[in-house]
């Protein structure tokens, strides 16, 4: 037996998944260990995974053919401001680009309800203080030609002065360096002449896109998180090898693919946000097998709620990301997040005096009040009070929750609100679910998409508990809980089954009517670079698939970006000639035919190549659950549950396993699984497919 393993470190739990060579999925959860070393939580989760398979940790790792890991260390370093002391090298006269930001710098990433709150919005604290910025004499212009050669003596002097300030990493972001990276590469050589071990990031490598500010941000963040991220990744790899892992460890990127540790250590900025992306990658893998073309992927964990979309079977890509109000451009799966999880803290809003949930979270330490350490009421505490979660069977009974502590915490909030205990707990769930539904509306309705045309996938530890509530808020008819009990670890599952992938881009300026030779030259150059990079990473050329896209817009319309696929094969005159029509069709679909401009030419401003190493390993078993001849599935017991929409306690059937294939259970019911709970409210039903996915839908027999 061999395994593909995926590990995802979340804010509360570290999730581990193994897919064996027969396609069976096994999962485990351990508390994340952010306060000490994240590796401890990883090893604890892997130990539980090994025990579930009846193996020692060493035996499990020795039988592992692929190991993938999604890490939050880069995100945490930026959010908690614990990154390296960075020195920035800029072109003379451009040293203030990072501090000046864009005009929207003070509101980038700020929630919509706070945008006009001038007193509470401001620019973020600088990642690089001005005294750690050095300017060098050089200038490359927009066609890549050198206007002013690099003054190496002046550069050496500036570098020595910077390095004398005990900086721990260097970021080099020069004007138009993505057109000609020679000066940036020479500066790296000069740095290493003085300090051979210095961590150096070049903007021409990290973010070769137009936009001086965004390119500088990406490069600075890469150096900011680089030293500690690379040490952690190499330590993880060494610890796993010491315990028996014989294959290279791969690291999840925010673009939806994995890369070897060495590549991730060079560009750790690409791992930021990789955990939530794992869930969308897992959704895509399952949806392809189930034939779901349009999917809303929702991941509710202990700390946050993430939403991603599959459109016509493919995850949406975004080119822009904001972290701590800093905007940068790197292609990544488009996953949006809000602080709306099981650990979100409920409190009285100091202005409205009403109930507010989040954005603060209890995390894993101290955690919700029912965990035994915290005292503040959270969504999970409300679940315990209402009876949706059994405190004696949390995590399959391995972690006992304190019902009295949950009731005390929610009770104090109820007293402050002047409401009853159950009313307050139900209100916590409703407020939290409304926030989740609002994010889904922003991803669908506000972009001209109808959520009723999509299947909702609900995963994460808290997702199946609350899916009924936010689906009802949206008016959706159906929810899929992927892999049943495996829903709480779907991000780790996605990391386990995803393929190695890297994305390559080259800026250009090709205006319509497009020059076929120019388009072909950029595409072939990118594909050559992509192929060589993947081969150098250890993949066979015949296993590498290339997907090509032309990024288009109306010329000078810089805020626009329409990706138009370039079909495989030769970049012929016919292929290039069709691009203009495809642009108009896509523009019309998004903005209406009246938005088309007769006076602007269309421009290809960049070409993107996605290189993917096709996997030949484990697959998901599609017949893990055979249909049954049984006609019913009786509850194992029952308990009183206070259903928020009903506003009363109702005797509710409790099931310790999902219904067999072909059997439907009707709400009110609670399906209590080791790693999550599926809530089936009155008026809804649940059934299971042959892959173990649970479908929640409005009852079909309400008239009966």
Identify the pLDDT of residue 447.
72
- Contacts (Cβ under 8 Å, ≥6 apart) of 460: 279, 298, 299, 300, 301, 305, 341, 487, 488, 490, 491
Q: Which two three-digit tokens encode residue 216? A: 């500088």
Of the candidate CATH numbers 3.30.1490, 1.10.3470, 3.30.70, 2.20.25, the domain formed by 501-613 belongs to 3.30.1490
* The pLDDT value given to residue 289: 85
Tokens representing 378? 């959270």
- Looking at the chain, the domain(s) classified CATH 3.30.1490 span 501-613
pLDDT at 11: 67
Flag residues of the chain having pLDDT under 70.
11-12, 34-36, 111-113, 115, 364-365, 477, 616-631, 699-704
Residue 245 preceded by cis peptide, ω within 30 = no
pLDDT, tens digit, 9 for 90 and up, residues 549-607: 999 999 877 777 889 999 988 999 999 999 999 999 988 887 788 888 878 899 999 99
And the tokens for 451? Answer: 């959520």
H helix intervals, 449-542:
463-474, 490-497, 516-536
Question: What average pLDDT is seen over the chain?
Answer: 87
With tokens 């899916």, the residue in question is: 467
In angstroms, the CA 545 to CA 47 distance is 35
Residues of CATH 3.40.50 domain(s) within the chain? Answer: 82-224
Q: Decide which of 1.10.150, 3.40.1350, 3.40.50, 3.30.70 is the CATH code for 82-224.
A: 3.40.50
pLDDT of residue 452: 82
pLDDT of residue 113: 63
Q: Name residue, tokens 């593909």.
A: 4
DSSP 3-state assignment of 286? helix
Quote the strand ranges of 433-489, DSSP E.
455-459, 478-481
Q: What is the pLDDT at residue 631?
A: 61
Q: What is the pLDDT of residue 559?
A: 72
Q: Beta strand pairing status for 64-70 and 25-31? A: unpaired
Q: With pLDDT > 70 as the criterion, what percentage of the chain qualifies?
A: 95
- Tokens standing for residue 87: 């020195």
Q: Taking the complete model, does pTM exceed 0.95, yes or no?
A: no
594/209 Cα distance (integer angstroms):
30
C-beta separation of 537 from 259 below 8 A: yes
């Amino acid at each position: 037996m061999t395994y593909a393993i995926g590990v995802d470190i979340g804010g509360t739990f570290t999730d581990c998944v193994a897919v064996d060579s027969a396609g069976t999925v096994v999962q485990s959860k351990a508390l994340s260990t952010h306060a000490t070393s994240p590796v401890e939580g990883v090893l604890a989760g892997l130990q539980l995974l090994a025990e579930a398979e009846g193996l020692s940790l060493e035996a499990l790792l020795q039988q592992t053919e692929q190991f993938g890991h999604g890490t939050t260390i880069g995100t945490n370093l930026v959010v908690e401001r614990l990154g390296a002391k960075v020195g920035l090298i800029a072109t003379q006269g451009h040293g203030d680009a990072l501090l000046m930001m864009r005009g929207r710098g003070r509101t980038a990433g700020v929630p919509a309800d706070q945008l006009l709150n001038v007193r509470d919005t401001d620019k973020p604290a600088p990642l690089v203080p001005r005294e750690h910025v050095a300017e060098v004499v050089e200038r490359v212009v927009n066609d890549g030609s050198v206007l002013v050669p690099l003054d190496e003596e002046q550069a050496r002097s500036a570098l020595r002065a910077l390095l004398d300030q005990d900086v721990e990493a260097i970021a080099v972001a020069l004007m138009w360096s993505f057109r000609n990276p020679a000066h940036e590469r020479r500066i790296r050589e000069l740095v290493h002449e003085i300090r051979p071990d210095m961590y150096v990031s070049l903007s021409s490598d990290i973010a070769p896109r137009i936009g001086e500010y965004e390119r500088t941000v990406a490069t600075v963040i890469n150096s900011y998180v680089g030293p500690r991220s690379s040490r952690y990744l190499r330590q993880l790899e060494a610890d796993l090898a010491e315990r028996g892992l014989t294959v290279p460890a791969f690291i999840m990127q925010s673009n939806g693919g994995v890369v070897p540790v060495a590549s991730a250590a060079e560009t750790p900025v690409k791992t930021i946000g990789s955990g939530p992306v794992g869930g969308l990658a897992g959704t895509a893998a399952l949806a392809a097998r189930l034939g779901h073309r349009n999917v809303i992927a929702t991941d509710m964990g202990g700390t946050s709620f993430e939403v991603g979309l599959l459109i016509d079977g493919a995850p949406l890509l975004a080119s822009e990301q904001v972290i701590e109000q800093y905007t940068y451009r790197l292609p990544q799966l488009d996953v949006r997040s809000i602080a709306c999880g099981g650990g979100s803290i409920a409190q009285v809003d100091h202005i409205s005096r009403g109930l507010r949930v989040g954005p603060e979270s209890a995390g894993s330490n101290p955690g919700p009040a029912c965990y035994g350490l915290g005292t503040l009421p959270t969504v999970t505490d409300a679940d315990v009070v209402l009876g949706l979660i059994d405190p004696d069977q949390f995590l399959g009974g391995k972690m006992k929750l304190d019902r009295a502590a949950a009731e005390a915490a929610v009770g104090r909030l109820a007293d402050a609100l002047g409401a009853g205990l159950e009313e307050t707990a139900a209100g916590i769930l409703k407020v939290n679910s409304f926030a989740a539904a609002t994010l889904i509306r922003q991803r669908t309705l506000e972009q001209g998409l109808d959520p009723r045309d999509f299947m909702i996938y609900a995963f994460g530890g808290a997702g199946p508990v609350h899916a009924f509530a936010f689906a009802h808020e949206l008016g959706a008819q159906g929810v899929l809980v992927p892999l049943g009990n495996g829903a709480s670890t779907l991000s780790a599952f996605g990391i386990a089954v995803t393929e190695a992938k890297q994305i390559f881009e080259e800026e250009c300026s090709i205006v319509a009517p497009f020059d076929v030779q120019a388009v072909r030259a950029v595409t072939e150059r990118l594909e050559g670079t992509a192929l060589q990079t993947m081969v150098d990473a250890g993949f066979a050329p015949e296993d590498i698939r290339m997907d090509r896209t032309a990024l288009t817009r109306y010329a000078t319309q810089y805020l626009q970006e329409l990706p138009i696929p370039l079909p495989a094969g030769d970049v012929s005159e016919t292929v290039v000639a069709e691009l203009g029509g495809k642009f108009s069709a896509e523009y019309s679909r998004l903005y209406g035919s009246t938005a088309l401009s007769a006076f602007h030419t269309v421009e290809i401003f960049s070409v993107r190549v996605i290189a993917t190493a096709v996997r030949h390993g484990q697959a998901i078993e599609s017949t893990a659950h055979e249909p049954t001849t049984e006609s019913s599935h009786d509850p194992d017991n029952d308990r009183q549950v206070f259903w928020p929409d009903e506003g009363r306690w109702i005797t509710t059937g409790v099931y310790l396993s999902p219904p067999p294939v072909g059997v439907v259970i009707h709400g009110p019911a609670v399906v209590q699984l080791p790693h999550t709970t599926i809530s089936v409210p009155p008026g809804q039903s649940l059934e299971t497919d042959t892959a173990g996915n649970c479908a929640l839908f409005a009852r079909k027999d309400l008239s009966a």
